Amino acid sequence: MTTLDQTTPAKVDPLILTAPARAGQRVAALAVDVLVPVAIAAIAVLLFLVGATGAGWVVVLLTLALVAVTVATLGRSGLTLGRIAAGTRTVERATGAAAGASVLAKLVAGRLGTYDIHRGRDPFAPALSPFEFPVQQPAVAAPARSTLTPVVELDSGQRFTLDAPLVLGRNPTAPVDAPAEVYRWADLSRTLSKSHARLEWDGRRVWVTDLASTNGTFVRTGGASQPLIAHQRTPLAAEAILELGDRIVTVRVPA
């Protein structure tokens, strides 16, 4: 797979216009994230005490699954049940991105910050760049538009050509000012948002836009998964693999 043709991003503070979460919000989020599994674990203890061992072990496994899901969603999106309730998101202080698989280590190391997404800018929303007049450059001929149409392949086996802008999701819609075809993708895991991501082909390259999805859109590059900033149009390589929640989308431009 070829690498992404990326331009150098503007040097801006990734946390510009964000507002740190208040102490009350942090306490509320922590209380929800801790008390819910503790309450379920208490039910397991009661079941063991009354002799319902089988049911007790089921509840124990449910508690462990809940903790694992909480850690995973915190790493991928900076959100948990408690943070959603408190209106906050936890991201890396240096980049404004989700912490990823090493979320617990970064949390202990103090590399994460929690921000109020109602009072300030959501760290996942595009940062504002200072305006600069472009330097006059000699005219360069634009690359020729390709007559070939990209192919989109879903992990569920569906394949179709990207003849027009396409919105993927559990129950997607396209706004009137940005018309597109929609594909309703059955997803029992519920990791897809209703309108998760938009794909476009301009005749030269494919563009992807995360539509503020709950679990995020990621591009696999060099063995790692890079998260996309919500509503920021991003170019893809001629062959790219996208992660939409737990689902995989492969996009290929025929040679």
Q: Among 62, 61, 108, 99, which Cα is nearest to 80's?
A: 99
Measured at the alpha carbon of residue 58, what is the angle toward residues 37 and 191, in degrees to the nearest 5? Answer: 60
Q: Is the separation of the CB atoms in 237 and 3 below 8 Å?
A: yes
CA trace torsion 160, 165, 169, 171 (10° rounding): -100
pLDDT (0 to 100) of residue 171: 92
125, part of any domain: no
pLDDT (0 to 100) of residue 121: 80
pLDDT, one tens digit per residue, over 5-36 is 333 444 556 777 788 999 999 999 999 999 99
Same domain as 202, residue 111: no
151 phi, psi to nearest 5 deg: -110, 130
13, part of any domain: no
209, part of any domain: yes
72, part of any domain: yes
Q: How many domains does the chain have?
A: 2
Same domain as 188, residue 108: no
- Residue 199, beta-bridge partner list: 166, 208
* Of 89, 116, 143, the domain-final residue: 116
- Checking if the pLDDT of 146 tops 70, the result is no
101, part of any domain: yes
- CATH, residue 168: 2.60.200.20
* Of 71, 96, 116, the domain-final residue: 116
* Of 73, 96, 116, the domain-final residue: 116
* Structural domain containing residue 223: 151-252
Determine if the pTM surpasses 0.75. Answer: no
Q: What is the mean pLDDT of residues 65-90?
A: 90
